[in-house]
Amino acid sequence: MSNVLSNEKRGMHELGAEKKVGWDEVTHGVVLHSFEDDATDVAMRKAEDRKYSEFSSYTATVASWRVIKPVYNRDICIDCQNCWVWCPDSSIISRDKQILGIDYDHCKGCGVCVEVCPTNPKSLLMFGEAMSSEDAIAQWPVKEKKEK
């Protein structure tokens, strides 16, 4: 499972930093292939079983956009998959109906996942980008009592 969370292909390139191409270098009718191999059954394969080419944005990162980041707390999560279905950046990693964690290479820190999380306290919360996940989980709020 560990290779799902840290797929070495993912997030190799900082977008715009490495491969800057001028408009005059773009050829007409250019075709970009997302995969290095045959892609006919790609709908049947998970990210870790695919061979992404360097043209797929899967290999790029937008991590530098983030100011705040979501931190995931496994202990409270009920695997409802709300965050997975509504993440606009495909950054919640879910396998076999379980949330495994957050893909920090593609997450832009919008905070939608925190808003849609139904648990009390929430199992995803936003913290400063510089804070480590361990520190964040250490200061996790406790269950709020319902106001009567």
Partner 1 sequence: MAITSVKNLKEFSTTNERFEGAHLLCPGCAHSMIVRELMNCSDDNLVISTNTGCLEVSTAVYPYTSWDTSWIHIGFENAATAAAGAEAMYKARKRKGTLKNPDAPVKFVAFGGDGSTYDIGFQWLSGAVERGHNFTYICLDNENYANTGGQRSSSTPIGASTTTAPAGRVSYGEKRNKKDMMAIMAANGASYVAQVAPNKWKNMAQAFQKALSIDGPCYINALSACTTEWKFDPKDTINISDLATDSLVFPLYEIIDGTELNITYRPKNVLPVKDYLAAQGRFKHLFKPENAHILEEWQKRVDEKWEYLQRREEARV
The binder of partner 1 chosen from 8, 24, 30, 146 (CB under 8 A)? 30
Q: Does 109 bind partner 1 (CB under 8 A)?
A: yes
Closest CA to 132 of 79, 71, 82: 71
Distance CA 7, CA 78 (A): 25
**C-alpha distance from residue 57 to each of 30, 60, 89, 103 (Å):** 16, 5, 11, 14
Q: Least distance from C-beta 104 to partner 1, angstroms?
A: 10
Within a 13 Å sphere around the CA of 12, how many CA atoms are in the beta-carbon half?
Answer: 12
Distance CA 10, CA 78 (A): 27
The binder of partner 1 chosen from 3, 43, 134, 147 (CB under 8 A)? 43
Looking at the Cβ atoms of 30 and 138, the one nearer to partner 1 is 30
Looking at the Cβ atoms of 43 and 130, the one nearer to partner 1 is 43
Question: Which residues of the chain form contacts with partner 1 (CB under 8 A)?
Answer: 11, 15-16, 19, 21, 26, 30, 32, 34-35, 39-40, 42-47, 50, 54-58, 60-62, 65, 79-82, 84-91, 94, 96-97, 103, 105-112, 114-116
